[in-house]
Structure 1
């Protein structure tokens, strides 16, 4: 897989660690260089998102050049970090980090299998064949919540194979959950974390929408919703333990803001590619085609934010994935799971490439810089 890390066009906004500043700097990319556009008008990415025309604001902002984008990207790898050179951070800050699950048929079936296997990956292969035979329907043609979906639901209940995952996959209500807390995500080049109790896990390559407090979708980026299959498979009530751990969500490299050339329709047509490269020589390639999503991105946003639930600092929403790895890694029937040192790269031409190295969450840098620290530092810098 060979894709550009930074898109060749578009209005981009992100954050960077810059020596001499206590707080993250707001940055954009122009002509192969990264520019610091931090100012009092919009000192956070959240503030930019809340503007009437975020793309026009970023495109029209002047700022100091920080260096070549390629050099800053390379310096963003944790193991290569040089404090004298800027480094990318997650491009979001105060937004709530939300995610939608079971939005693709392929991942829906794998969630049913996880549930039936009770977190035991050794049982997954035989169960996969059994579940496919029992369902006997092309769920990709079913509109969630439709009369046809309800007929399938009744038929599956009668056959004894109904699942809570099928409920949110074809039922009227989408699965929306909190992936992590504001300020908790990591960016390009950072280490992503697996909880040490997990022995069956995988990356989840996703598009992440950026949404204002008014529910307006203003742009998108890439995300890795690190997933612990054995933990969630034991019980859906363990979703928090499976999803929200130190460094368990990565976002980046930049947010691309909607303008005349990049719109929600671009997102709906996007195809994500993903590669896992292990220190053991193992390579896994996968993809996720947004055209096959079972609920529209707009409907997922509407299920998240509205009169029923507000987010004063806006939110980002992981849209889910159709990627469900079943390739054997350590022998026939053993399926896929991460190993420490894996490098995961998620790409699509309009958004670039998000790459991270896999470690245990206990070995990743602890999350110590939160919203209170950011506000204090912005206050000291006279940016509030």
Structure 2
């Protein structure tokens, strides 16, 4: 089951169950204590809660606007969790290469704060390249949806926009390279974690189009992830609490060549098997 936040043509916003071509509206008033998508996700049984709120009203998916599936949660991210990311981070950082080499194999992962809800772009909304960056890329990431107890309740697609030149100049500049307005994309829906994942079959594909032509494409799968999803979630909640829940981007295994940088007008599409495609245009500061 996939759940989403949607907007209708009259401007009203709803929570819906989405299929390949339909959005089935949920009546949150029919569920005890639920007034948002997050409330459903944080219930004891999100799938049963959503099913109990299902209505007879459905709309073609192309007649609704899909919104970022976030309410009040923090967005965090993990780094250097794929071999390709380790190599790329070492290449971009003359002074910090050994740090990235060590963190790839260390017990403790790299975790960093990524975004508040106001910095997150939903499907079709622009993501941003910093005006003071000359080398910026998207980072397509399988993203965990975590309830306040730290349990993985769902999955979505994340875009961890990154200024590689700023981070590469000095690892201490990581927050500036990662956290700014429109620095993250989430969506288009949350796939509920009701069944074990087939890591090899959970493929991730990145396509970047410019002026109607594809200028980059790459793919990987969760089988290439160097850490387990449960391990990453456990480290995030170690000695910390998230009363509103959290999203955790789990790192990228797709990195464009060093000569590539995003430009205004580019269109980023991230497809994850079983979830869908998150598409965002690019603007520059």
TM-score in same-fold range (> 0.5): yes
Change (3 A) 1:172 1:62: closer
Aligned match of 1:33 = 22
> How far off its partner does 1:181 sit?
1.1
Aligned match of 2:103 = 168
Q: Is the 8 A contact 1:276 1:285 kept in 2?
A: yes
1:258-285 deviations in Å (ceiling 9; x for gaps): 22xx43x235641111111111735211
User: Normalized per residue, which structure has more helix?
Assistant: 1
Aligned match of 1:321 = 252
CA RMSD in angstroms comes to 2.0
Q: Does 1:105 align with 2:83?
A: yes
Q: Does 1:311 align with 2:209?
A: no
**Partners of 1:350 and 1:31 in 2: CA distance:** 10
Q: Does 1:228 align with 2:163?
A: yes
**Partners of 1:102 and 1:30 in 2: CA distance:** 33
> How far off its partner does 1:182 sit?
3.3
Alignment of 1:1-384 (within 5 A): 11-18=1-8, 24-30=13-19, 32-40=21-29, 41-63=33-55, 65=57, 67-72=59-64, 87-116=65-94, 163-259=98-194, 262-263=195-196, 265-267=197-199, 269-279=201-211, 281-306=213-238, 308-326=239-257, 335-360=259-284, 362=285
> How far off its partner does 1:16 sit?
1.7
Q: Is the 8 A contact 2:91 2:97 kept in 1?
A: no
**Partners of 2:199 and 2:244 in 1: CA distance:** 23
User: Normalized per residue, which structure has more strand?
Assistant: 2
> How far off its partner does 1:205 sit?
0.8
**Partners of 1:115 and 1:183 in 2: CA distance:** 30
**Partners of 2:204 and 2:19 in 1: CA distance:** 24
Q: Is the 8 A contact 1:33 1:65 kept in 2?
A: no
Between 13-22 and 347-356, the greater mean CA deviation after superposition:
13-22
**Partners of 1:58 and 1:267 in 2: CA distance:** 26
**Partners of 2:68 and 2:76 in 1: CA distance:** 15
Change (3 A) 1:338 1:30: closer
**Partners of 1:243 and 1:104 in 2: CA distance:** 18
Higher Rg of the two aligned structures: 1
**Partners of 1:285 and 1:35 in 2: CA distance:** 33
5+ residue gaps, structure 2: none
TM-score, length-scaled by structure 2: 0.92
5+ residue gaps, structure 1: 1-10, 73-86, 119-160, 327-333, 363-384
Structure 1 residue ranges (4+ consecutive) displaced by more than 6 angstroms after TM superposition: none
Q: Is the 8 A contact 2:66 2:122 kept in 1?
A: yes
> How far off its partner does 1:30 sit?
4.8
Secondary structure class of the residue paired with 1:199: coil
**Partners of 1:14 and 1:251 in 2: CA distance:** 11
TM-score, length-scaled by structure 1: 0.69
